[in-house]
Amino acid sequence: RRLPSQMSIHDLPHYNPSLSDSRGIQVPVLSKVELWKQEKLKKLRKFQTQAREFLYFLVLWGKTIQKIGGNFGGGVKSYFLFLRFLVVLNFLSFLLIAGFVIIPSLVFRQVGTSFMNSTGEVLVKSKICTIYEPNPPGLVVFYNFFLDLLSGTGFMEYSFMFYGYYNNTMVGNSSFSYKIPLAYLFTAFRLTPSFLTGRSHSMGSAARVAVATGGSTVVNYSMIVFNGWNFGCLGETATKLKQKNLLYRLQVDLEEESLKKRAASLTLLKKFGLHSLRLLMALLVLGLNIAAFYGIYYATTYSQEQQNKRVNKESDGVQDLFFEYLPSIVISVANFLVPLLCDQIAKVEHYSPSITVIVALLRAVVLRFVGLGVLLFTLWNQITCTGNMDDAKCKECSYNYASYACWETRVGQEMYKLTLFDLLINIAVLVLVEFPRRMVVDNWSSKVSQMVGRQEFVVSSNVLGLVYSQTVVWTGALFCPLLPLINTVKFVILFYCKKITLFSNCRPPQKTFRSTTSAFFFLVVLLLGWMLASVVMIYSIAVIHPSRGCGPFRFSDNMWSIIPTSFYNLSAATQEFLFFIGSQAFTIPLFSLSGLVMCYVIALFSIYGKSVGLLRLHIGHELTRFFSIFPFLL
């Protein structure tokens, strides 16, 4: 550090000219107080480091995930980090609903509190609509017990697992008041703040990196050369894998540049032929998706018809279980076959490697989400008689009571079966496909086995599977309150299954697309899944009439009516405060302040964009200058 012109080294405090090092440089002497402060600061830093290392061991699967990242790269590690985030999210959701709904309901039942109409008097058109008699839980043989466990019927139908078990209980006196319907509706919206808080920072970071790179080949080349190496690689295998990964990324950039030059040199007739071929393939993919959606619609309709036929009949065992799982089977088959056929179609479309991966992912996302939407639409279509309340089936109770005495529980059972079937499929694939494939490849030295080789751990498809599972849970949590707990257990089992198959059966993928694009894309897909689940939940709460014979909203015209009823039961001061929050005197300044903050962020974003553009231009000039000096490197 340079001293001011008026100060010499002799003017420094605590300087002793008699002390110097071996080279004659004068060393300042610190006082005892400053030495004590420095010693305490060193001890504090050492304590912080040790505490951080101790807390690291308490982090869920921290050491395992670090080992996965060191051996298989950051792409595979990101999948397990994402899985850990979903485990924590589902477990916190379960704790919330257990604290506000399950435990109070259990306490009120133990003390003998009866349910009452706490949502206002509603005229019931017929007493028949209030009759709900699920299968009695009496003693059953283990065979039927196991079938009920898989289908969510029998002893499970009238339990804490599903919506129909909860009563419209209200406990209140001069100092305490508690409403189960209000708590139930509150927990239905529990995932909104937790999800947005947990993912907004990650989406912002991924978006900033994606905007900074901007898909530029020059910038991406610089990032690979200067920032591409991972110094956390463990072992020779991981090092070679990282080298191959970097080599492949450079090859992808070169291939994309060559494809751009080739596309620019195409004649008008060849361009027309290429785009016509792509349009034809897109229509073929659309036809495959429509066929899959029709199969899901038909399977759901047929499954519901078979379940309605045996309402008052004895169970036929495995045959009835097959009919109940028919929609889940068709959805799983469609999610496996259609992307496989689309991958073959993509080979003749001649897109660039990164565009090919993104198009494949978009097609898989549309298939999974729209397939789930078709299942829900089919159920709503049958529950509400296609929206025609004058239909004979829905006229008496405002919903199809004859087939769905407690329709919320039936929807929850479908979501429960989707979640359970997905877990069973993952375990079956691990045991019946992945382990035998590895044993054949390792022990049978034929050309076929060597050509097939060990399977790759494809991060994109595995992450989409997690997003789909979480979307099912968000959709069914309103009708199956314990579904987040089931999904927590499922994801824990899935973590260890994927860990076993990763280290035992898989070879890491050598072909990966850019991590910035993938991270942002996965977060956007998760946000789309949450939006789909939110639309289903809002429609169910605000539009469809609740079942009159079960659940905490049995006396309401819709679930939302509990909100205004509870609002007018509040004190006058609380009502005035909430009215003020909703008035123009509060909202107009709030929106104005939000607009100013947004304008500042947009201006900041524009400045950063211009800075990135100038840096790119500067890099281009420097590269041109460099190759003009050393032309033999071209």
d(CA 537, CA 531): 10
Most confident of 139-153, 251-265, 481-495: 481-495
Token pair recorded at residue 560 = 């939302």
The β-bridge partners of 178 are 171
Residue 288 CB contacts under 8 Å (≥ 6 apart), including other chains: 338, 341, 342
pLDDT-derived band at 20 (thresholds 50, 70, 90) equals very low
Per DSSP, the residues of 269-290 read HHHHHHHHHHHHHHHHHHHHHH
Most confident of 481-490, 536-545, 620-629: 481-490
pLDDT for the residue numbered 69: 73
d(CA 450, CA 22): 67
Q: What is the 3-state secondary structure (H, E, C) of 52-120?
A: HHHHHHHCCCHHHHHHHHHHHCHHHHHHHHHHHHHHHHHHHHHHHHHHHHHHHHHHHHHCCCCCCCCCC
26 in helix, strand or coil?
Answer: strand
How many helices and strands (H and E) does the chain possess? 22, 4
473 vs 587, more confident: 473
372 vs 42, more confident: 372
Average of per-residue pLDDT across 392-400: 84
pLDDT-derived band at 494 (thresholds 50, 70, 90) equals very high
d(CA 541, CA 411): 14
Q: Return the DSSP state at 431.
A: I
Q: Whose structure tokens read 């899901």?
A: 296
336 in helix, strand or coil?
Answer: helix
pLDDT for the residue numbered 184: 87
12 in helix, strand or coil?
Answer: coil
Q: Which H/E stretch holds residue 216?
A: none
Tens of pLDDT along 173-183?
666 778 888 88
Average of per-residue pLDDT across 131-148: 72
pLDDT-derived band at 483 (thresholds 50, 70, 90) equals very high
pLDDT for the residue numbered 317: 73
Judge whether residue 203 has pLDDT over 60.
Answer: no
pLDDT-derived band at 121 (thresholds 50, 70, 90) equals very low
What does the longest C-alpha to C-alpha distance in the chain come to?
107
pLDDT for the residue numbered 376: 92
Tens of pLDDT along 540-557?
888 888 988 888 888 888
Judge whether residue 153 has pLDDT over 80.
Answer: yes
Least confident of 11-15, 443-447, 466-470, 529-533: 11-15
Judge whether residue 250 has pLDDT over 80.
Answer: no
Judge whether residue 247 has pLDDT over 80.
Answer: no
244 in helix, strand or coil?
Answer: helix
Residues 342 and 285 sit within 8 Å (Cβ to Cβ)? yes
The length of the chain, given as a count of residues: 634
pLDDT for the residue numbered 314: 56
Count CB atoms within 10 A of the CB of residue 34.
12
d(CA 612, CA 530): 33
Q: Which of 290, 484, 467 is nearest to 369 (CA)?
A: 467
d(CA 173, CA 169): 14
Least confident of 73-82, 312-321, 531-540: 312-321
d(CA 459, CA 456): 9
pLDDT for the residue numbered 401: 87
Average of per-residue pLDDT across 501-510: 76
Average of per-residue pLDDT across 69-91: 82
d(CA 112, CA 13): 79
Least confident of 11-20, 86-95, 218-227, 285-294: 11-20
Judge whether residue 442 has pLDDT over 60.
Answer: yes
Residues 199 and 527 sit within 8 Å (Cβ to Cβ)? yes
Residues 406 and 551 sit within 8 Å (Cβ to Cβ)? yes
Residue 320 has, within 13 A of its CA and on its CB side, a CA count of 17
46 vs 316, more confident: 46
d(CA 124, CA 128): 9
Count CB atoms within 10 A of the CB of residue 180.
23
Least confident of 64-68, 338-342, 585-589: 64-68
pLDDT-derived band at 473 (thresholds 50, 70, 90) equals very high
Residue 257 CB contacts under 8 Å (≥ 6 apart), including other chains: 217
556 in helix, strand or coil?
Answer: coil
Token pair recorded at residue 465 = 């599977």
Q: Whose structure tokens read 């485990």?
A: 87
Q: Which of 191, 187, 181, 160 is nearest to 559 (CA)?
A: 181
341 vs 121, more confident: 341
How much of the chain, in percent, has pLDDT values that exceed 90? 14
Least confident of 52-66, 359-373, 596-610: 52-66
Q: What is the mean pLDDT of the chain?
A: 78
pTM of the prediction? 0.79
Average of per-residue pLDDT across 575-587: 81
Least confident of 11-20, 119-128, 361-370: 11-20
Average of per-residue pLDDT across 419-431: 91
The beta strands (E) that lie in 301-407 are given as none
Q: Which of 37, 35, 30 is nearest to 16 (CA)?
A: 30
Average of per-residue pLDDT across 93-118: 76
Q: Return the DSSP state at 170.
A: E
pLDDT-derived band at 225 (thresholds 50, 70, 90) equals low
309 vs 285, more confident: 285
pLDDT for the residue numbered 122: 45
178 in helix, strand or coil?
Answer: strand
Q: Return the DSSP state at 430.
A: I
Residues 91 and 182 sit within 8 Å (Cβ to Cβ)? no
235: left (phi over 0), alpha (psi -120 to 50) or beta: left
Token pair recorded at residue 252 = 């992808």
pLDDT for the residue numbered 294: 94
How much of the chain, in percent, has pLDDT values that exceed 70? 74
Average of per-residue pLDDT across 18-29: 51
Residue 608 CB contacts under 8 Å (≥ 6 apart), including other chains: 211
Judge whether residue 349 has pLDDT over 50.
Answer: yes
Give the angle subtended at the CA of 163 by the CAs of 158 and 164, to the nearest 5°.
45
Residues 75 and 465 sit within 8 Å (Cβ to Cβ)? no
